[in-house]
Structure 1
Amino acid sequence: MFSQKKSGAVLSYINIIVKNLVTFMYTPFLLKYIGQSDYGLFQMTNSVITSLSLLSMGFSSSYVHFYIKYKSNNECENLKKLNGMYLILFCLISLTAIVIGSILAFNVDNIFNLKQSQISLMEKLMGIMILNVALTFPSSVFDSNIIVNQRFIYQQGRQLMQTILVPLIAVPMIMLGSGVLAIGITQTIVTTLFLFINANFCIRKLNMKFNFRNGKVMMFKEVLAFSFFIFLNQIVDLINNSGPNFVLGIFEGAEKVAIFAIAIQIKNLFFMLSISLSDVFIPKVNELVSQKKEKKVLTELMIRIGRVQMVILLFIFGGFIVIGQYFIHLWAGDKNILAYWLIILMVLPSIGPLSQNIGIEIQRAMNMHAFRSIVLLIFSVVNIVFTVVGTKYFGLIGASSGYVIGMICANGCLMNWYYQFKMGIDIILYWKRTLSVAIPFLVSTFLTLISQLFVPINSVLVFLFYGVIYVILFLTIYLKFVANSYEKQLIFRKK
């Protein structure tokens, strides 16, 4: 199983690299062939449709918790009932998504400030993407079963195929004249394909069995109580990720949304880097809590994973600070250059909380996730207020103000207090052990930025030169002065 974890983690990072390489090539293509306005229109549509993911109400994240609970107690019949209940539930959610999505599609002209031609296009795009999101709900049941059985190689391999297939199908369609609709059509085709592939894998390979008969009412109540606060988290995530796009669409229009969407794409890279590692340890965390291990064990796990996450996040972030502005110039054009500062503004306060993502899974496993959900929900209201006011008076930069404040106050200060004083996680020890990984980031970033005062980046050759120098500086300082024996073993161990 360790091989599954390690290989899954490696594949997850390969997946992230490929996903972002595809994005970095795909986005300029889209900006060129469908235009800035239609690209912004797609992002606005995506923000609206993504809101339908709230209908899952946190049930997906609860599956692992209850599956391990029943499996640890050898309750085979309850496992079948859990699978049956989840499949029925998510099929009903899928139908609800279609109904609500259709209502939204017929009211596009009442929600956004768009031209008549844009309204017609957005209605068609929403119709396609509603079907896509509806299909993801039943598919998530099988995704959860794959994760809880720790089949990380299959999971990440499948995601890698999805990443490659979408642009592979969409690009020819766009070039043949399908325009922005090709993106939605492609995503729906690929989602349908992998729904059947996932179902087949779970039923045939993992022996996933279902019980659709009565007797699941009490189980549903228990799952609902646990899932409610995860549902609140999803509301917060939606506000943080899609709220600014929605607000910008109302106050500024599709062109500004496109700039912000470019910033969000790169910001999301950091979230993917963090989540991909912590996801691999979700079953392990639930097992440790189920076995009632000491808090010291959970603290050590959080430190070990947190150090690795922070190294990776700071390595990528420092590289972006050094060469990111010229990268935006090459990738998306100078009209989108403001995205560079938006990315730095949003990512910097996120590094600490993202390095602690495994702590969220510990909270859920301990059934102590209510506090985080309530705090983040309160700050999501603060986020909306600051986003609206900030957008109105400061435009794009102002649109990120609510997110930054929430990240610092809620995800940072209040959650660290909760870990330390309520959950028994030694967060003071965590920071003592992890802060040292910032040394290679600070030194390598400072030296390369100072160098740019004398030799600015004004060509691809200089751009690549600074990238190579930064990598060499960071890795040399990290491996020589900062990395511990566990981290060196991860890097250099062949098996």
Structure 2
Amino acid sequence: MINTIKELNSSKQVKYGVIMSYFTVAFNILAGLIYTPWMVRQIGQADYGLYTLAISFISLFALDFGLGSAVSRFMSMYKAKDDIDGAKRFLGITCKLFLLITFIFFLVLIVIYLQIENVFLGLTLLEISKLKVIFCIAGLYSIIAFSFNPLNGILISNERFLFLKSIDLFHKILIVLLMVIALLNGFGLYALVIVNAFVGLLTIAIKLGYIMKFTDTEVDFSCRDKILLKEIFGFSAWTTVISISQRLILNITPTILGAFAGSVQIAIFSIGMTIEGYTWTIAQALNGLFLPKVTRMTISNKDMIEIENLMIKVGRIQLFVIGLIIVGFASMGKEFMVLWMGNNFSDTYYVALLLIVPCIISLTQEIAYTTLVALNEIKYRAMASLTVAVISIILSVILSKNYGAIGSAIAIFIGNVVGVIVIMNFVYYRVLKINIFRFFRECHIKMLIPLLLTYVLGLLMQSQFPVETLWLFMGKAGLLAVIYFLLMWFISFNLYERDLFLGLFKGASNKILNRR
């Protein structure tokens, strides 16, 4: 009975968390369409490139050595077992480890600051001077924020998805609001960094206060459990490899471009990363919410077929959302980039397309990756991520010299196909014993016809009805989205998916009518 109540509460939190996530994504996209190009024009393309360079370079060294993921995984495990003492001991150890890593991170940033002129040889003296100021502000914020890294893991393990996603939305809205005020009053590049730091610290304080007041989370700082420490390191070591690899894939690319291609190519690549980030964020609206549930399923020794069914169910919904983004951008994205960011960013279309195309496979399979985390088998993902990083960095150094941002995007595309798609699907099939052929048959093949038809229609609309303003383009894109939904509804959706959308529509309608 208690487990049934937990599952119902979990389902409600997932449902509301997903809805709030999509509100956040919608705001991000709207802000990106309106605010980002305006902000870039206010501070300049080169300054925006410097900001991206500083943030990505600092992030490259802000490694938590897998402890952030360990908090989510172990706390979910302790919650599933109702082991309160184990949770307290675990948090005591991880909090002390985070403080130690924060001190090391601080020392590393000091050394890097002293070597900035020798690292970024492609920048001018003025750009170096600006970069140093940005680096100091963003670095100080990163050091403070790093210490509170476990907060998200605690909220996830307690399944407080609604609050977590709500605070994410608050974070985005406040940054845009304060940045608009700052830029309208004549502040420029430095205001961008200061506002981001201030809002970030504010959200950390809110999360900390919520956890202290509304959860039963306790920390045993006196804990010195060597067995638990060994278990944590056994998990976090492989997660560290993943973290390093992911940073080497995207965060080091602006550094490579800064060394070989200049700040303009960094800006072009960064906008492409923004499009990829939107795609990833939309996927995470579902993917980040299932670790507690999958952990309970693995602990109760449920058959892998149930996880496979969940993977298909979630994967189809993910493909419906992500598929629209990818086929829509592939068919109409070039016109969009010119209208959105201007002719100087036309190459960003190719950068973004190369970054997001592999997502149509990888981001629909996050339930399988979550299962690897729950079973403590993430070494396979670590090996795959390392493969992606090695391929991407080597090819990026070679290709960026002559092809700039597009060359780096090609390098990352090849790395993702080999590592995240080929290698990981082999792992899911052989290690987890998931019938990956059934997954592709039920998910991608059964939804292929609407995807292809939408792509063809998008190309026709692009060639036959070109537009000159972003608002007209949004109308055209909206029409394509409606056609896509209808194609999916009549060709690919199953009964569960139709009931899901009808239920959301009826729920929204009832709330509106009740308010009246």
8 Å contact from structure 1 (residues 52, 133) kept in 2 = no
1:100 and 2:108 are equivalent in the alignment: yes
The amino acid that maps onto 1:38 is D
| One of 280, 284, 304 as aligned partner of 1:271 | 280
Give yes or no for contact 1:323–1:466 (8 Å, CA) kept in 2.
no
189-198 or 119-128, which deviates more = 189-198
> Would you say 1:454 and 2:451 are equivalent positions?
no
Aligned mate of 2:72, from 64, 74, 79? 64
What's the counterpart of residue 385 of structure 2?
376
Matched, 1:33 2:42: yes
2: CA distance between counterparts of 1:129 and 1:233?
A: 24
Alignment match, 1:396: 405
Structure 2 matches for 1:137-176, cutoff 5 A? 137-176=146-185
Residue equivalent to 2:86: 78
Normalising by structure 2, what TM-score?
A: 0.92
Matches within 5 A, 1:444-483: 444-460=454-470, 463-483=473-493
Distance 2:140 2:184 in 1: 24
1:480 maps to a residue whose letter is F
Aligned to 1:334: 343
Q: Hey, what's the Cα distance between the residues in 2 that align with 1:69 and 1:8?
A: 21
Alignment match of 1:440 (pick from 450, 460, 468): 450
Give, in whole Å, the separation in 2 of the partners of 1:216 and 1:135: 27
Q: Residue 250 in 1 paired to residue 269 in 2?
A: no
Rounded Cα–Cα distance in structure 2 between residues aligned with 1:464 and 1:276: 23
Q: Does 1:234 align with 2:238?
A: no
Instruction: Tell me the CA shift for residue 273 of structure 1.
Output: 1.4
Q: Percent identity?
A: 26
* Matched residue count: 494
Unaligned regions of 5+ residues in structure 1, if any?
none
Larger mean Cα displacement after TM superposition, 444-453 or 43-52: 444-453
User: How far apart are 1:33 and its partner, in Å?
Assistant: 1.3
What are the ranges of 5 or more consecutive residues in structure 2 without an aligned counterpart? 1-8, 508-516
CA shift, 1:143, in A, is 1.5
User: What's 1:490 paired with?
Assistant: 500
Separation (CA, whole Å) in 1 of partners of 2:463 and 2:163: 47
**After TM superposition, what 4+ stretches of structure 1 lie above 6 angstroms from structure 2?**
none
Change (3 A) 1:110 1:175: farther
Secondary structure of the 1:153 match is helix
1:90 aligned residue? 98
Task: Give the aligned partner of residue 409 of structure 1.
Answer: 418
Contact 1:125-1:184 at 8 Å conserved across structures: yes
Question: Residue 510 of structure 2 aligns with which residue?
Answer: none
Amino acid at match of 1:302: M
SS of aligned partner of 1:96: helix
Q: Which residue of 2 aligns with 1:212?
A: 221
Contact 2:134 2:190 in 1 (8 A): yes
1:389 Cα offset (Å): 0.5
Cα-to-partner distance string for 1:296-339 (whole Å, 9 max, x where unaligned): 01111111111111110011222223432222122211011110
- Contact in 1 for aligned 2:336/2:470 (Cα 8 Å): no
- 222-231 or 68-77, which moves further after superposition? 68-77
Could you say if the C-alpha distance between residues 450 and 68 of structure 1 is closer, same or farther in structure 2, counting changes exceeding 3 Å?
A: closer
What is the alpha-carbon distance in structure 2 between the residues aligned to residue 438 and residue 149 of structure 1? 37
| Partner Cα separation in structure 1 for residue 343 and residue 349 of structure 2 | 10
Distance 2:470 2:51 in 1: 30
SS at the partner of 2:431? helix
RMSD over equivalenced CA pairs, Å: 1.7
One-letter amino acid of the structure 1 residue matched with residue 479 of structure 2: I
Once residues 72 and 151 of structure 1 are traced to their aligned partners in structure 2, the CA distance between those partners, rounded to angstroms, is 15
- Which secondary structure state, in structure 1, belongs to the residue aligned with residue 363 of structure 2? helix
| Aligned equivalents of 2:88, 2:429: Cα separation in 1 | 38
In structure 2, the residue matched to 1:192 is 201
Q: TM-score, normalised by structure 1?
A: 0.96
Q: Which amino acid aligns with 1:114?
A: L
Q: Give 2:456's aligned amino acid.
A: F
**Letter paired with 2:14:** K
Deviations along 1:118-175, one digit per CA (max 9) or x if unpaired, are: 1111111111111221222232212211111111110000000000111212232233
**Distance between the aligned counterparts of 2:58 and 2:236, measured in 1?**
22
Residue of structure 1 in register with 2:22 after alignment: 13
- Alpha-carbon separation, structure 1, partners of 2:327 and 2:344: 23
In 2, are the aligned partners of 1:445 and 1:470 still within 8 Å (CA)?
no
* CA distance in 2: counterparts of 1:442 and 1:105, whole angstroms: 49
- 1:302 aligns to 2:294 (yes or no): no
Letter in 2 for 1:183: L
SS of 2:288's partner is: helix
Q: How does 1:296-375 map to 2 (within 5 A)?
A: 296-375=305-384
State the Cα distance separating 1:182 from its structure 2 match: 0.9
* 1:106–1:123 contact (8 Å) kept in structure 2: no
Verify the 8 A CA contact 1:259 1:339 in the aligned structure 2: yes
Matched to 2:315, the amino acid is G
